[in-house]
Chains A and B, each alone.
Chain A
Amino acid sequence: MCIAIPGKLVEKKEDDRGIVDMGGVKTEISLVFIPTVKEGDWIIIHTGFGLEIMSEQDALNMITLLHEAKNSADY
């Protein structure tokens, strides 16, 4: 239940909200816990909230692995 998933911030909106691209799916999330985040940054996301900013390399790494895990088992 505590799994968090990476996404890329494509649009920073008002009121600490933003649109993230999570593997091609665009979703609006809250950025209230990471106010310094910039468009283009990668973040890790849990239950509709950005929890931390992370490097692109690490985010891509996580995405590849999560994607494979999802395809290979009920993970």
Chain B
Amino acid sequence: MDLRSFRNPKLVRQVVKDLSEYRNEVKIMEVCGTHTMAIGKWGIRKLIPENIKLISGPGCPVCVTPSSVIDELINLEGVTIASFGDLLRLPGSIGNLEQARAKGLDVHTIYSPLEALELSKQKETLFVGIGFETTIPGIAYTISEAHRLKLTDFSVLSLGKLIAPALDALLSDKQIEIDGFILPGHVSVITGTDAYSFMPEKYRVGGVVTGFEPLDIVVGIQKLLGQMTRPQIINEYSRAVTKKGNQNAQAMIERIFEVSNAFWRGLGKIPSSGLIIRDEYSQFDASKKYGLMVESPEVSLAACQSAPASVSNVSANCRCGDILKGKIIPIECALFNSECTPDNPLGPCMVSSEGSCAAYYLYERGYQ
């Protein structure tokens, strides 16, 4: 196959032509922020027939992190905070970590959790462990290393979230009608496609794991449409994803974490969708070490909608919660591209480079 074939316009057009033979109205949700960006970038929403609606789900770890986390971190004293860059601009009720850094809070942007571990050899460090299954194994390994090295100045705020339980929660919500899912490519490298087998079994809804190129995505949609009467999970990203996933990585997660309920901004409490650090490693649990209350239901469940604008950087009219559930698309928010832009984000969906509102802003502002 030609190296460029995943973007070959002829091949893409051929698949799109086939899609036009499908007459029913369908709603397909993509749950990965990278897919959201790819769909916007390649103009796929405009390319495919109107009866096939693509909507964005909760696929960005920053967007689903409760703002209470930021408030708790900003109030900490005497500890260095290490985090992935995207989290720095997430608004809390008293500003974001970037602003706090300008005022003197010691905040480091890192690429790997292992950098936080190194940092802790010089100064007491708290690593903010956000991410889905792609990122969680590395966080787990870092904790096991801290344990092996008997480090005392390292801790992790465990905010990792699991995608499959979130899909289960979305599918069990009767108000949300989704006919099929474009499943996340790199999360599935770890989980394997078996993680999604409950979808057709329990809800009679199928999904396709696919890559991030135009042909990947349109072929994924085509395959999804082809299985509507007999839903199943299809692997269109076999160049990186297997049925069982990476079992070494899964074992590492299992060793360090136990599954717990978790609060997702906009979605609320989802059973068995979070991870807490096992007792054996509790000396590295930042929520215990610093008494952080990051899972306060009032704050988390409120999402961004109910935070009073006067005391918060998060607008009272932000509709991020509805966007994460696929109830509306970003342009239906009254603040989109007026008061809320990537330079002045009012809600989490605009903050992260992979948030739905940021993707729409970048690529689809004129699209209705």
Contacts and interface: CB of A to CB of B under 8 A. Distances in A.
Given A58-B240, A74-B362, A4 B84 contact: no
B189 A47 contact: no
Given A32-B248, A46-B138, A4 B41 contact: no
Interface stretch (B29-37, B50-58, B198-206): B29-37
A8 B114 CA distance: 20
Interface in B107-124: 111-115
A4 B189 contact: yes
Contacts of A25: none
A60 B112 CA distance: 24
B6 interface: yes
B240 A52 contact: yes
Contact of A52 (B33, B34, B189, B353): B189
Interface stretch (B129-137, B258-266, B333-341): B129-137
Nearest to B85: A1
A48 B113 contact: yes
Contacts of B354: 1
A64 interface: yes
B135 A65 contact: no
A33 B133 CA distance: 13
Contact of A46 (B7, B115, B141, B186): B186
Nearest to B32: A2
B275 interface: no
Given A1-B60, A64-B3, A51 B362 contact: no
Nearest to B358: A74
A2 B34 contact: yes
7 contacts: A1-B352, A33-B249, A33-B252, A34-B246, A47-B113, A49-B138, A65-B212
Given A33-B249, A61-B3, 19 more contacts: A1-B61, A1-B131, A1-B352, A2-B186, A4-B186, A4-B189, A30-B138, A30-B141, A32-B141, A47-B113, A47-B135, A48-B111, A51-B190, A58-B239, A61-B239, A65-B6, A65-B212, A74-B353, A75-B37
Interface of B: 1, 3-4, 6-7, 32-34, 37, 41, 60-62, 84, 86, 111-115, 130-132, 134-135, 137-138, 141, 184, 186-187, 189-190, 212-213, 239-240, 246, 248-249, 252, 352-354, 362
Interface of A: 1-4, 30, 32-35, 44, 46-49, 51-52, 54-55, 57-58, 60-61, 64-65, 69, 73-75
